[in-house]
Structure 1
């Protein structure tokens, strides 16, 4: 949770009964599955021309939707109407509920069409719009927010009222969405001055949010204090941090693995959290892959959607844990996650799809849950009983309708191995069910995360399939997701029109650096460095420092943001700093390091005060303060001695490192200055330097491991 939220007191008396505070009480009942999209009830609207799966889900609503753009706001100005902005994403359960209840409702659609201009936005396609207006939702709702996001704007885009999910009808003393629309329309007519005052106050606040604290320096004292602050939130009973709902704390774990040092509590927090998630219902016990979050503190009942970015980051956590500790169970989980991604989330073109839904057949989780009879029908009575006993499938169930979410109450490695064939049989049986919706758009930033993990895991596990998948996806993005040299946000049946954001450049550059380290192919180093330079040109604030989330030539919105806080994915600023620090170490160029150091320093006070909110920036601060190990493997590919050294360097746990390969390629020293003076003519050797001090070159894996510890 971010500190310092503004709470604007409602100034519109007519809306007093329509306070969009977080819902309490039971969730609304689920309606039956809506009619098939192949036989829509309503003619296609403007959204039918879009690429986003989320917008296409609303292409046959009776609501007269516009995509985000000047056309919608021009109409609002011309007709003097407020704008209703609805933001969500295609695998969002409550977005589906609100669509069925309200946006397919003829009466509600009539009010929207007559009194508002309605805009629909895919938050994953337009994170810039989502971030700005989510800040408004949280400002008006005591820091709470979520999706679907419902925001009411002036024709100039200024928010004056906001919430999340609204039920269609009045109930439990609260107004329904139709009542809210009528009240807001009346306020627009009768209290325009109040609305404009509220909108301006919120806009002024949004312009101030995220401004850096001021230039300062980062020192080593910050890091153990930040680790202690994070560890104070550790749940020693269930693993993880904080209370329910629990989200995978991927970036906290990555930071603690680097800054926990010899603190046994840090090591215990990492191990117990990774174990608890892998044994909980948040993990797909028969198909691999993690769900978005757990609704309880025990990691038992998940919200069943699976996101590419979660699985990329979690696979990295488990891979790093194996590299650091040799934990074979964590290696197995990492492999299962990556195999799931290659099997179920990989496009024919080689890049990776975005997500799968929580719902199927109109019910959340139906695809994933089991009853004892269903298990025994596949496995037989005896094997079925053994499976149910181990994975917590009971007659009472732990989910809806007497179904059970598979989990491991008491882990036993031998029993789990004995049930491997049973898991495979149930996976095959489950494949015959109606699967959740697949969001098949390809986002550059999320793909960058997965590319980096596949490249790293390919080295740690000596698994060419993973490395090859990373290379293929990287080449697809570099070829298909650039127009006139500029990255686009993504691809779906063709490149998206939206230009890339900071996270697209930073995440892809980081992934390409990982691919270079996994392959030694200078193509990926050149592309990563070029992207880093373009990233600085487009996004860096040359006056104050740090990075804007949008480029200077981006569409002008009501605010331009610098956001160091991590969400489900790392802050773009944090990853950009990591890229620049790695590039600086590999080139000796002081400018990238200076840019990263300045950016991190601008947010030092926040790092000190709110460490759990920005662990990725703390990880880059650790890289900055501790300094990297610079590793060069010199020799000729194919030479067994060289390959052994390269494999050792790639697989050995080295928290802060850059890794390069001197193979004698023409001009390689000019392309990558770290290679200077490390000619392969002297045979296979490993060079390790740190803080401008180099050890004598070594020639055996054992000597290299000793230098890297």
Structure 2
């Protein structure tokens, strides 16, 4: 009776052998609940979630708990990464009922999907008590239960929408920096206390803002994250968050979206400062993405698990004895000192997470030790990998890898970005509509949501600006047409699901940035860039209207609008438009292109190549030489033919 064996989600497949009679999300499960006259038990999680695994082992693999679930409920298992819309509406309900949310999320709902009780992780005994209590309430207090569900739906439907307004001004952005400064941790970097999530989008905004105060907050945080335990000091790549305020002990799962966003911001930090640390971390993170998350089809897998051999972090942590065993006595002692590995340990059972709080003098020895430890670690049992390809997160990866490849002269990174883009076009796109996920080259059944269209469009536009291949510009334009046709809310913003998508008890809409850019802010960024390449007032006006909620958030909740603030910086800067003419294989064209890529002007948009891109129209060679035209709103200055002149043009305040 467990119906998950044919699922495309690795998370659902993890539960395919449970004694629980799981259903996938869908009308069949709802109809079964109506037929049996029992409530729904909706369990939402994702494959790399540690506490999801704990609850699975304790409860879903337990015969007695499964019997209670099967007898009294229709049980639905949901991968939040495949169905972010389902996750969003039930998370709203969970936080409204309990004041907090998280995963695994456990929701009890009427057969029509209205939630009436919710929580997150429950230990087995408490979960069994809850199952019995909910089942009893359903049979003996049915009217109250149904009424509670109706009240929750009604309350969530009443709004709570953020009021929109005008797009942010320079003054609004200054207020945002001041708000961030109030919660900035000057000693350890980051904002607020434990746990600390990598504030990648806030850091992008601060780098674009560029004032001394903004750069200090960004630089302090970027260095602290790179030197702490949240960054994998051997293999590269960042864990999802730090459980402490000092970036020492991570929650060990590694997500594609975090690493794509952080790769891009570290590359931009290097561009702004020339920091060797920024360059090293960016390159290592990019290489980790290709090595650990690259799929055979050319895309990028979603995540690596936190657990291996039944323990969180076991793959990554070390003791002094393990270092000596891997390296020898003296090198092992040196490594323990360099990586802050102590007898007491910084993690569990006397183990330590590797940190690199300062660079040792002997860089050659550091490189040798890192290589030897990475080789030794490779013999350990590896964490599991969720190998589904999520469109939105691959869009973020395409943008990051394309830029990093261009900035660091790494054609292999640009090639990886192109391969991922080709996979999305080949597998995810059908008739102008995006599938949310694929696995093994087969598209999943779930429709793309706003963030998928917006992040993929952002990735394609960035790839065009790096390669000059106009097909990516054209594909982005088609995706943004769907955004403008199917997602508007009629008030200047966007819903997270299309107007012809599945109807849930609430149509999700969240304009705040979380661990990834909100769909609305991502759409604003892509629309703004597309408008800069085409001169389209329709796209520009849609972008500015979507940024209205950022103005509302900037003064007191700037941490939840990082990408929106970064897009607002681009809008206020123009964004600057650079059209580069000349053969792509001409070194003089390449030199102009690199000067444009190195410009720190927020949101700079680059057009080049032979495609039918409006910004390129009428931009010819100058005396037979490749040339660059610097424009704002399609009004261009005199063309220049040398990288030095182009850099001066880009650094001149309009």
Q: Which sections of structure 2, spanning at least 5 residues, go unmatched?
A: none
Q: By how many angstroms is 1:413 displaced? A: 4.8
Q: Is 2:290 aligned against 1:342? A: yes
Q: Which residue of 2 aligns with 1:281?
A: 229
Which of 244, 250, 270 pairs up with 2:218? 270
Tell me the equivalent position of 2:109. 153
Name the structure 2 match of 1:398. 346
Maintained 8 Å contact 2:167/2:550: no
Where does residue 77 of structure 1 map in the other structure?
34
Deviating more after overlay: 377-386 vs 411-420: 411-420
1:603, distance to aligned residue in structure 2 (A): 5.3
Structure 2 residue aligned with 1:180: 130
Q: Does 1:122 align with 2:79?
A: yes
CA contact (8 A) 1:513 1:524 kept: yes
Paired residue secondary structure (1:47): coil
* Deviation sequence 1:310-344 (CA, Å, 0-9, x none): 00011111100000111111100000000111111
Partner of 1:36: none
Residues in 1 aligned to 2:423 and 2:113: alpha-carbon distance in whole angstroms: 36
* TM-fit CA distance, 1:407: 0.8
Are 1:67 and 1:120, in contact at CA under 8 Å, matched by a contact in 2?
yes
**Residue in 2 that maps onto 1:110:** 67
Deviations 1:385-436 (A, max 9, x none): 1011110112221111111111124x02534553111110111111111100
C-alpha separation between the residues in 2 aligned to 1:684 and 1:382? 57
The answer to whether the 8 A contact 1:315-1:338 is kept is yes
Is the 1:47–1:65 contact (alpha carbons within 8 Å) kept by the matching residues of 2? yes
Q: Cα deviation per residue 1:188-231 (whole Å; 9 max; x = unaligned)? A: 12222221222112112222345341454543321111111112
Q: How far off its partner does 1:703 sit? A: 1.0
The answer to whether the Cα contact below 8 Å between 1:574 and 1:617 also exists between their aligned partners in 2 is yes
For 1:119-518, list aligned pairs within 5 A: 119-142=76-99, 144-169=100-125, 176-209=126-159, 211-259=161-209, 261-262=210-211, 264-409=212-357, 411-493=358-440, 494-518=442-466
Shift of 1:135: 0.9
Aligned-pair distance for 1:680? 3.2
Q: Which residue of 2 aligns with 1:699?
A: 641
Q: Deviations over 1:552-573 (max 9, x none)?
A: 1111100012211111111010
Q: 1:567 matched to which residue of 2?
A: 514
Q: Once the 2 structures are TM-superposed, how far is the Cα of residue 692 of structure 1 from its aligned partner?
A: 5.7
Task: State yes or no: 1:594 paired with 2:526.
Answer: no
3-state SS of the aligned residue for 1:282? coil
Q: Please state if 1:677 is matched with 2:603.
A: no
8 A contact 2:39–2:72 mirrored in 1 = yes
Whole-Å Cα distance in 1 between the matches of residues 228 and 272 of structure 2? 23
1:648 aligns to what?
A: 595
Tell me how many residue pairs correspond in the alignment.
649
* Alpha carbons 2:567, 2:603 under 8 Å: kept: no
Distance 1:271 1:345, change over 3 A: same
What is the Cα deviation at residue 675 of structure 1? 1.1
* RMSD over aligned Cα atoms: 1.5
Select the structure with the greater relative contact order (CA < 8 A; seq sep ≥ 6).
Answer: 2
Q: C-alpha distance in 1, partners of 2:555/2:592?
A: 40
Q: Secondary structure at the match of 1:150?
A: strand
Q: Which moved more, 1:284-293 or 1:678-687?
A: 678-687
Residue 556 of structure 1 aligns to a residue in which SS?
Answer: coil
The question of 1:576 aligning with 2:523 is answered yes
Structure 1 portions without partners, runs of 5+: 1-43, 170-175
Given that 1:255 and 1:616 are in contact with CA atoms closer than 8 Å, whether structure 2 keeps it comes out as yes
Work out whether residues 217 and 601 of structure 1, in 8 Å CA contact, stay in contact via their aligned partners in 2.
yes
Separation in 2 of the partners of 1:311 and 1:106?
39
Is 1:96 the counterpart of 2:53? The answer is yes
CA distance in 2, matches of 1:456, 1:538: 30
Q: Distance in 2 between matches of 1:602 and 1:397?
A: 45
Quick one: distance in 2 between partners of 1:617 and 1:638?
Answer: 36
Deviations 1:462-482 (A, max 9, x none): 111111111111011111112
Structure 1, residues 236-270: CA drift from partner, whole Å, max 9, x if none?
111110000000000110111112x33x2221111
Residue by residue, what CA displacement relative to the aligned partner does 1:599-637 show, whole Å, maximum 9, x if unpaired? 222553234342221121122222223321111111122
Please list, as runs of the form range in 1=range in 2, the aligned pairs for 1:598-637 lying within 5 A after superposition.
598-602=545-549, 604-637=551-584
Taking structure 2 as the reference length, the TM-score comes to 0.97
